[in-house]
Structure 1
Amino acid sequence: MKTAADILTCRISELITAGPETTIKDALRLMAKHNIGALFIEDNGKVVGVWTERDHLRNSILPEFDIETARLKDYMTTGLIAAPHTAGIYKLLDMYLGLRLRHLLIEKDGTYIGMVSSGDAVRAALVEKTEELEKLSSFVNWEYYENWRWDKK
C-alpha cells in the first residue's frame, strides 16, 4: 500500500511557506503561482501555522479584513496536525474525513517533509485500486465461466 512518502515523491515535495508578516494579497499570489490550496507559515525556520483557501473565505467577509494590509499571522490556523511519512493512503483519508481537513503536513523524524492534500490522497487511492482491478482481471478468464456446463438432473 502506498504511503504519504510515496505520494510526496510523485509531486512537488517542497513545502511552500511564507512568513507571518506576509500580506494576504502576497500569500494569494504565492498560492496561485504554485497552484496550491494551503500555505504553511514559517517563523525562524519553524512551521507555526497554515493558511488555506478556506481561511480566506471565512475571513474575507469580516468588516475589518483588508487584503492589502491583513497579515498571515492574524488569520492563520495554529495547532497543526501532521501525519507520519509511513501513514498509508487509507489512514490519510481517514484523517481528512475524521478531522475535516484538506491538507496534512507529513512528518519524518520530527521534521515536516511536505504536505499532502486530500485530492492527492484520493488520486493515489484511485490509482492503487485501478492497479488492483487490472491485476485481478488478469487472473479471471471469463471464457472459463461462460463454458461451464450445468447438468440438471
Structure 2
Amino acid sequence: MRTVAQVIQTKQIQQVHTIGADETMLRALQLMAEHNIGALPVTEGGQVIGVISERDYSRKCVLKGRASVGTMVREIMSSPVTTVTPKQSVSECLSLITDLHLRHLPVVEDGRLVGLVSIGDLVKETIAEQQELIQQLEQYIRGEV
C-alpha cells in the first residue's frame, strides 16, 4: 500500500498554498481561482488551524447572505482540522475522508505543513495501484512471471 508521501511526490503541483485566518473570503477565493484549487489550509503561527474550501464558502457564506469582502476566513473555515502524516497509507486517508465527509487532508510532519491531498488524489492513486495489481495477476496467470 502506497503512502501519502508517495502521493505528494507524484502530484504535478507540490506547492501548498495557504491563507491566514484573518484574511477575507474574497482573498481566499482569489487565491483558489488563481491557482485552480478548491481548498486552502488556514495557518496561524506556522500551524494548520483549519481548512477553507469552496464548499465552506457556498454553504456558510453565500447561502447565508454574507459578503465575501466582509467575511473573514476564520468565521467560516472548517475547524478543528483533521491532518495526516506522510507515513500514513492511502487506504487510511480514504477511510478518514469517507468517515468524516472530508475532501481535503493537510499533511503535517513535525508540526509543519508539507502537503495537501484531496479525495481525487487518493482515488487516482488507488485506481493506479489496482490496475498495477491486475496487470501483475494477468502476467502471473499467463505464466509470464
- Does TM, normalized by the shorter one, top 0.5? yes
Deviation at 1:51, TM superposition (A): 0.6
Going from structure 1 to structure 2, the CA distance change for 1:44 and 1:108 (only over 3 Å counts) comes to closer
Q: Is the 8 A contact 2:46 2:112 kept in 1?
A: no
Give 1:15 deviation, angstroms. 2.0
Give, in whole Å, the separation in 2 of the partners of 1:21 and 1:31. Answer: 16
Long gaps (5+) in structure 1: 143-153
1:75 to partner: Cα distance: 1.3
Letter in 1 for 2:117: V
Give the 3-state SS of the residue equivalent to 2:58 in structure 1. helix
Structure possessing the higher radius of gyration over alpha carbons? 1
Q: How does 1:15-30 map to 2 (within 5 A)?
A: 15-30=16-31
Give the fraction of aligned pairs with identical amino acids, expressed as a percent: 31
- The answer as to 2:115 corresponding to 1:111 is no
Q: Unmatched 5+ residue regions in structure 2?
A: none
Code of the residue aligned with 2:53 in structure 1: it is T
Are 2:134 and 1:133 aligned?
yes
TM-score (norm: length of structure 2): 0.89
Deviations 1:2-37 (A, max 9, x none): 100100111133221012222212211111122211
Q: How many residues align?
A: 141
State the shift of 1:94 in Å.
0.7
Closer/same/farther in 2, CA of residues 110 and 67 from structure 1, 3 Å limit:
closer
3-state SS in 2 of match to 1:68: coil
CA–CA distance in 1 between the matches of 2:111 and 2:22? 25
The amino acid that maps onto 1:116 is V
1:6 is matched with 6
**Equivalent residues in 2 for 1:1-153, closer than 5 Å:** 1-11=1-11, 12-59=13-60, 60-63=62-65, 65-141=66-142
The letter for the 2-side match of 1:71 is M
Which amino acid letter does the alignment assign opposite residue 119 of structure 1?
A: G
Point out 4+ residue stretches in structure 1 off by more than 4 angstroms.
Answer: none
Q: TM-score, normalising length from structure 1?
A: 0.85
